[in-house]
């Protein structure tokens, strides 16, 4: 049985809960889950300087509202995926207890305690479900590496807001996701799989992002299982092939939203 370790950004992460549960159902053994503690003033200051008030909205959605943040919709969200799959855990602790998985809390996923745990567990791979950049010594102790599902098409769109940037540029054929290995760069590690996500006429950026989440869960789990079974190969990136994007200014987000309302895929793009 293949053995993995899960990295989680918080005990309330729906993404962590869903990906972990689906991996377990596929017969993957989860050796441990490392979870960042919620209270970390240093991290809050760092992330607020990057994201501004958007961070507060993110905290409200992910830590307070959680599944209640997803209104009934005519498309699948991560909340409806959890209902369909019968995943009823309220937090990572409940999932870990139900499956007998050790859970370790840390201030940061690069802490010495995390590195010590990895050197003892020796996982085949680490499954990253959020939690910031990972340092070189942790990457080196991750077996085959740290796997991430990026909400953007690599190598073209690295970094932040990689759903919004291609919309702003009218580049709909490069809206999608990538399962890749993390390295010391920003989204520059080896690629395992990419998947394009088509825009639905009339949807908003928020709806598109909400629709992305269950697709990412399924694609991430499928790719992890295939990688562990040696059915998919790593494809190295050339750093010069792509571009790193940063947090989009709110004014540009509004422009992208307006463009999305008008954009229709041409027959050539389809």
What's the pLDDT band for 51 if we cut at 50, 70, 90? low
User: Exposure pattern of 30-40 as b/e (b: 16+ CB <10 Å)?
Assistant: bbbbbbbeeee
Pairwise CA distance, residues 176 & 33, whole Å = 27
- Give the per-residue pLDDT at 1: 75
135 backbone dihedrals φ, ψ, rounded to 5°: -80, 165
- Give the per-residue pLDDT at 69: 75
- Extended beta strands in the chain, E state: 3-8, 29-36, 103-106, 125-128, 146-150, 157-159, 176-181, 191-196, 243-245
Pairwise CA distance, residues 231 & 221, whole Å = 13
pLDDT-above-90 percentage for the chain: 80
Residue 161 has pLDDT above 70, yes or no: yes
- Give the per-residue pLDDT at 240: 87
What's the pLDDT band for 38 if we cut at 50, 70, 90? confident
Render pLDDT for 119-134 as a digit per residue (tens, 0 to 9): 999 999 999 999 999 9
Distances (CA, A) of 157 to 55, 152, 161, 209, 244: 21, 6, 9, 16, 6
Mean pLDDT of the chain, nearest integer: 91
User: Taking a C-beta distance cutoff of 8 angstroms, is the pair 35, 11 a contact?
Assistant: yes
- Give the per-residue pLDDT at 54: 64
Q: Which residue's entry shows tokens 């005990």?
A: 11
Pairwise CA distance, residues 156 & 123, whole Å = 30
- Give the per-residue pLDDT at 267: 40
Residue 157 has pLDDT above 60, yes or no: yes
């Amino acid at each position: 049985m293949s053995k993995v370790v899960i990295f989680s950004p918080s005990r309330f992460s729906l993404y962590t809960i869903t990906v972990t549960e689906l991996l377990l159902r596929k017969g993957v053994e989860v050796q441990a889950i490392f979870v960042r503690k919620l209270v970390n003033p240093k991290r809050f200051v760092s992330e607020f300087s990057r994201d501004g008030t958007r961070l507060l909205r993110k905290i409200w959605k992910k830590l307070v509202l959680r599944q209640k943040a997803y209104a009934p919709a005519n498309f699948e969200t991560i909340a409806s995926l959890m209902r369909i799959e019968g995943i009823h855990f309220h937090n990572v602790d409940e999932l870990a207890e139900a499956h007998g998985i050790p859970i370790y809390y840390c201030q940061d996923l690069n802490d010495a305690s995390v590195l010590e745990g990895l050197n003892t567990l020796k996982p085949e791979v680490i499954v990253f479900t959020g939690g910031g950049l990972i340092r070189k010594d942790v990457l080196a102790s991750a077996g085959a590496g740290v796997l991430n599902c990026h909400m953007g098409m690599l190598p073209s769109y690295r970094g932040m807001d990689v759903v919004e940037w291609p919309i702003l540029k009218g580049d709909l054929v490069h809206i999608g996701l990538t399962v890749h290995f993390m390295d010391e760069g920003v989204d520059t590690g080896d690629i395992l799989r990419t998947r394009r996500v088509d825009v639905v006429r009339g949807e908003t950026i928020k709806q598109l992002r909400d629709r992305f989440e269950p697709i990412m869960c399924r694609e991430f789990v499928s790719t992890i299982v295939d990688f562990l079974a040696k059915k998919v190969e790593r494809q190295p990136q050339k750093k010069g092939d792509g571009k790193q994007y940063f947090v989009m200014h709110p004014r540009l987000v509004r422009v992208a939203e307006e463009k999305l309302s008008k954009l229709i895929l041409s027959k050539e793009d389809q």
